[in-house]
A and B are shown apart, each in its own frame.
Chain A
Amino acid sequence: MADVPPAETGPPPRSTSELFMSFAWISMQSFGGALAFIERTVVRDKRWLSPKEFLGLYAVSQVLPGPTGISFCVLLGDRFLGLRGAVAALAGFLLLPSMLIIGIAALFQQFQHVPQVQGALHGMGAASVGLIVTTAARMARTLRGQRIGIAVAVLSFAAVGLGRLPVSTVMLTLGVLSVWLAWRSHPQ
């Protein structure tokens, strides 16, 4: 692509199968979030994106509808090989881990009447919750000193966590309001 500076990046992916294989490799290494593994492959190993380009694409993926990792696959695939590239990257990212996880889930279901298996799942579930709590706390800490941001986060939690309102309702009201406030506070 013309907009890729030659100094920081290597040759772009040549084929849809290269994209598919790369994202399959990324996803099969990913534990606890794929971001770090995507960065390692795309920026350091394959050098398809410079670190700055990676951060830019990641920012777009966060804001766009859809889970961040999914949007990133699609954007990266599209950037180099259009719609075919987007489908190849997404399929690579989802296909193998889906088959693997369904196999594991089926295995656990076979033995779910065994008390030890149930207990193991309870234990793993609790540790997973600990992981999610930690992630939430790390995210929340980034709000320090931002009064409006804190107020929006508290309202978002009150609406969804306490009030059990649909995410769609919250995004269309609080989300829109919060983006408007962000725009107002930095008009330039």
Chain B
Amino acid sequence: MSTADLFALFLHFLSLSVFATGGAMSLASDMHRYVVDQNGYLTHTDFVNSIALAQAAPGPNIMFVTVMGWQIAGVQGALATTLGLSLPALIFPFVVSRLGRRAQFERALRVMQRGLGPVAIGLMVSTSFLLVREAPGIWKGAAIIAATVALLALTRIPPVLLIFAAGALGAFIPW
């Protein structure tokens, strides 16, 4: 990957971060558009693998972005995506701490929260839709997705155990 492409990757994740409301996973649909659909840096399977590995390992959710960058361009790629998504956060809080705890600021915050919350929910549903639509092995993938959703709703099994169990199952069934 050329330096220009690497820089463009960094800039894309930087701009995504500026518009992030909620967690990194709500941005996955947009990342997929850039990384898989537009530039073909990764296949859809690579993309889902980065999410799977990050969910199975300890660390914040944003780690799937690190794996994605690493798959695209090694350690440099990992730095480009991870720092791109993290650096804007270093700037904005200082603006906030200067504004302090003024009542007006508190009110603006509540309004922003109420306004942006539903947008973030739509983004998270978009991520789900993208991932479900292209589930691996069609009905096998769909069956594991459905079983996971059901077990999470009905039991208190820690999610990471479900991921490990699905991995063990996946290793022994033909896809």
Does A4 sit at the interface, judged by CB under 8 A? Answer: no
Q: Which residues of B contact A121 (CB under 8 A)?
A: 45, 49, 52-53, 167, 170
Do B51 and A128 touch (CB < 8 A)? yes
Separation of A152 and B125 alpha carbons in the complex (Å): 12
Separation of A168 and B172 alpha carbons in the complex (Å): 42
Do B149 and A168 touch (CB < 8 A)? no
Known: A123-B167, A183-B115. A161 touches B33 (CB 8 A): no
Does B8 sit at the interface, judged by CB under 8 A? Answer: no
Chain B interface size, under 10 / 10 to 19 / 20 to 34 / 35 or more: 35 or more
Does B24 sit at the interface, judged by CB under 8 A? Answer: yes
Do B170 and A119 touch (CB < 8 A)? yes
User: Which one of B30, B67, B90, B171 lies within 8 Å of A120 (CB-CB)?
Assistant: B171
Does B25 sit at the interface, judged by CB under 8 A? Answer: yes
Do A132 and B90 touch (CB < 8 A)? no
Q: Chain B binding site: helix, strand, loop or mixed by DSSP? A: helix
Q: Which residues of B contact A106 (CB under 8 A)?
A: 70
Do B148 and A65 touch (CB < 8 A)? no
Number of interface residues of A (CB under 8 A): 99
Separation of A75 and B115 alpha carbons in the complex (Å): 22
Separation of A70 and B81 alpha carbons in the complex (Å): 14
Does B35 sit at the interface, judged by CB under 8 A? Answer: no
B102-140 vs A, CB cutoff 8 Å, 1 = contact: the mask equals: 000000011111111111111111111111100111001
Do A101 and B111 touch (CB < 8 A)? no
Do B135 and A129 touch (CB < 8 A)? yes
User: Which one of B23, B52, B125, B129 lies within 8 Å of A140 (CB-CB)?
Assistant: B125
Who on chain B is nearest to A91 by CB? B86
